[in-house]
Structure 1
Amino acid sequence: MRLYIASNGGEPYVKGVARAKGIDSYFDRIYSAGEFKTSRKEELVEKLLLDTEERDAVMVGDRKSDVRAGKANGLFVIGCDFGFARPGELDGADRIIRRFEEILCWFDIAIRK
């Protein structure tokens, strides 16, 4: 399984946070709106999917823009209701999880769809 980050943030910030948190090595590539000059996350995710030729991708996020980007690109969307999401912000996600540990079972289901 390959992992990517798709963030609306600027490149130095997004990559710097991943590096500072010690998680950058878990990801095959970090995509940021700042690096690719995209105005919407839908465009950024589309670019990621085209670049990587991923077919069995799942979108995971805690903001409305994550849900929109995933749905716009035909992805199964897992909403994380333990981060920055406000009530109703994850409406439209295929599944909503409330603890990170819940994510593994949904990956298997999402990939099989």
Structure 2
Amino acid sequence: MPISLIFDMDGTLFQTDKILELSLEETFDDLRTRKEWSEITPLQKYREIMGVPLPVVWEALMPDHSNAVREAANQYFQEKLITNIKNGRGALYPHVTEIFAALKKAGHAIFIASNGEIEYLQAIVSYFGLDTWVTETFSIQQIETQHKSDLVHYILDKHQIENAVVIGDRLSDIQAAKRNGLKAIGCRFDFAQEDELKQADVIIDNLLELPMVVQT
């Protein structure tokens, strides 16, 4: 029976780590140049909190800075991410396009629900041609609450979806599924945390496992 699959983007479909360190270093280099940062780039901290909305990210990375400085840093960071995507420095996880093609052929609908910003998501979708298979891509910016569970609810409501699963690597994805009465498929990929994955209904180590999991 065809179902709808709602995918996270970062750490699930897109190998964010390939451009994350570079873009973050570029951002904090800029901050150091402007005398607004003097320490090392908090890359590990960013990895730990991957999956939360960006305002929360910058509050965690720069707790002693003003909102204005954080917003400027985020804007610069977004520009660098998009530039690095367009320059071919990013990559999808293995088998994304073949799995998407197989799921689409089987009659399943594919959506993306991400905490990433709209322009960033559009850059990924456009560069890799994901709109060939993806019905619609949604950003947390579209939801006032900034909660992924509300974003998934919005997708379900907009497309009148009754049968769906959520696929992602972090707790926000799993909770988004659970709070909407959906099956949560956890991806044990780069940014995944084992204590979070335990709350998923199913855990996969490779996207090739997904078609079989979807059928069960």
> Above 0.5 in TM-score?
yes
When the two structures are aligned, how many residues end up with a matched partner?
109
Shift in Å, 1:26: 1.3
**Counterparts of 1:1-113 in structure 2 under 5 Å?**
1-109=108-216
Give the partner amino acid of 2:119. Answer: P
Q: Which moved more, 1:84-93 or 1:44-53?
A: 84-93
The structure whose residues are more often helix, as a share, is: 2
Residue by residue over 1:54-73, the C-alpha shift from the partner in whole angstroms, topping out at 9 and shown as x without a partner, is 11101111111100100000
Q: SS where residue 203 of structure 2 aligns?
A: strand
Residue by residue over 1:17-52, the C-alpha shift from the partner in whole angstroms, topping out at 9 and shown as x without a partner, is 122222232100011112344411011000000001
Q: Which moved more, 1:67-76 or 1:7-16?
A: 7-16
Give the partner amino acid of 1:73. Answer: N
Aligned to 2:5: none
Give the partner amino acid of 1:3. Answer: I
CA distance, structure 2, for counterparts of residue 67 and residue 76 of structure 1: 8
CA distance, structure 1, for counterparts of residue 200 and residue 111 of structure 2: 19
Bigger RCO of structures 1 and 2 (CA < 8 A, at least 6 apart): 2
CA distance, structure 2, for counterparts of residue 45 and residue 20 of structure 1: 24
Q: Identity percentage over the alignment?
A: 36
Contact 1:10-1:35 at 8 Å conserved across structures: no
Gaps of 5+ in 2: 1-107
Please provide the CA RMSD for this pair. Answer: 1.3
Gaps of 5+ in 1: none
Give the partner amino acid of 1:105. Answer: M
CA distance, structure 2, for counterparts of residue 5 and residue 42 of structure 1: 13
* Structure showing greater Rg: 2
CA distance, structure 2, for counterparts of residue 31 and residue 97 of structure 1: 23
Aligned to 2:69: none
TM-score in terms of structure 1 length? 0.89
CA distance, structure 1, for counterparts of residue 145 and residue 128 of structure 2: 25
Shift in Å, 1:91: 2.1
Moved over 3 A (4+): 35-38
Q: Which moved more, 1:68-77 or 1:13-22?
A: 13-22
